Amino acid sequence: MALYSEKVMDHFRHPRNVGSMEDADGIGEVGNAKCGDIMKIYLKIRDDRVDDVKFETFGCGSAIASSSMATEMIKGKPLTEVLELTNKAVTEALDGLPAHKLHCSVLAEQAIQAAVNDYYAKAKAAG
Ligand code: FES
């Protein structure tokens, strides 16, 4: 069996939503100390929904595929739903990841949560 599913390879080779966002409403950046990979998620929020999302991932192929899939999964979704996105759901949507690559999908879950929390913190500070 191939190590990576076709979906992983597709999202790695043709990642969706790559890039940064100058006027992001929320930004989340997380890293994994062991492998040194870093993932950054930018969110544009409208009416408590994800209006747009971009990511920059400095990391392995699984991390890139996970960010790409995760950003597709949260586009247009209400923030309450976005906060419930788990790395398990991302991994399943990718038709699986090798066990030693599961932490790559955890980065996507954590980066998205950090971006939503950043949005909430900024909204609170703005009153
Ligand atoms: Fe660490 Fe993929 S090897 S994020």
The domain total for the chain is 1
- pLDDT tens, 18-27? 999 999 999 9
**Amino acid residing at 127:** G
Task: Output the domain CATH number for residue 38.
Answer: 3.90.1010.10
**Does residue 1 register a pLDDT over 80?**
no
Give per-residue pLDDT as tens, 67-105. 999 999 999 999 999 999 999 999 999 999 999 999 999
Full domain range(s) for residue 28 = 6-126
Q: What is the rounded average pLDDT for all residues in the chain?
A: 96
Instruction: Convert the pLDDT of each residue in 27-70 to its tens digit.
Output: 999 999 999 999 999 999 999 999 999 999 999 999 999 999 99
Testing ligand 1's pocket by substitution, the residue of 12, 30, 35 carrying the most ligand atoms inside 8 A of its CB is 35
Classify residue 1: in a domain, yes or no. Answer: no
Closest C-alpha among 94, 83, 92, 34 to residue 59: 34
Helix (H) or strand (E) holding 42: strand 38-46
> pTM of the full predicted structure?
0.96
In-domain check, residue 83: yes
Q: How far does the centroid of ligand 1 lie from the alpha carbon of residue 123, in Å? A: 32
